[in-house]
Structure 1
Amino acid sequence: MWIQILLITAIVVLAAFMMRRTGADSHLAIRRLLMMLFVVVAVASVLFPQWLSWLANLVGVGRGTDLVLYGLIMIFLAFVYTQYRRNIALQRQLTLLARKIALLEAEQLESDRRRPHD
């Protein structure tokens, strides 16, 4: 009983933390819906662990814990892929920013050279 309360509390707290607005979320509504679905499934699996075994048998997996493991592996791979894509986008932005700064500094240096010295 206590472990169920602890797990459900942890699930809800983590979900609330992950659903915070970060300012750059273009898919915030989809992310929130998926997070709420995850919370419902996670709480249900804590309260009724036998349904995972039933679902695992339904899809051809031996145990509910194996089904959870396979699901976590898929989520992890999706996370790695999205982080990779985000990293590439950030690298492009950083490159463009560095180029703009270099051009502005070169322009400033050129204007300083052309200006007569007092």
Structure 2
Amino acid sequence: MIIIVQVILVLVVIFFSLMLVRGGSNAKHMAVRRIMVMLFAISAVLSIFFPTILSQLARLVGVGRGTDLMLYAFIVSFLVYMSTTHQRFRQTETTLTKLSRRIALDEAERPWEHVPVAGQTANKETVDSHPGQGL
């Protein structure tokens, strides 16, 4: 019986972890994350005031003590947090790289454009007088 409960717990943990870690930050993912945080906070507060309920719940799901159950929940929460933070960091890094490339291209010297000499204004005749530079 305990093995069955442990397998079910592991499958539930894997399911929720994959759901939370999966890419995207749309409203559905944010709502699930908020619900998970609220459930964890409520269970933590209840375990402080009523430690016997947490111990009974732990025994029900096949974990020895309530503190072990909370530790397992904290470890899973921490791993999900690390994974989502890493994912956000990678996304920010990619965005920064693209932005840096865009700025570099925008500010790069364009040898095909005619740069007027001091006191001279660039006009169509000046550009046309230099073949190959008026592209």
TM range (shorter): 0.5 to 0.7
Q: 2:95 aligns with which of 73, 78, 93?
A: 93
Q: Which residue of 1 aligns with 2:55?
A: 53
Unaligned runs of 5+ in 2: 1-24, 120-135
Q: Letter of the 2:99 partner, please give it.
A: L
Cα distance, 1:88 vs structure 2: 1.0
1 or 2 for the larger relative contact order (CA 8 Å, sep ≥6)?
A: 2
Root-mean-square deviation (Å): 2.1
Q: Which residue of 1 aligns with 2:46?
A: 44
Q: Which residue of 2 aligns with 1:8?
A: none
Counting aligned pairs with the same residue, the percent is 46
Q: 1:82 aligns with which of 69, 81, 84?
A: 84
Aligned length: 92
Q: Highest Rg: 1 or 2?
A: 2
Cα distance, 1:87 vs structure 2: 1.2
Q: Which runs of 4+ in 1 moved over 4 A?
A: none
**More divergent stretch after superposition (80-89 vs 29-38):** 29-38
Cα distance, 1:80 vs structure 2: 1.0
Q: Which residue of 2 aligns with 1:7?
A: none
Q: Which residue of 2 aligns with 1:110?
A: 110
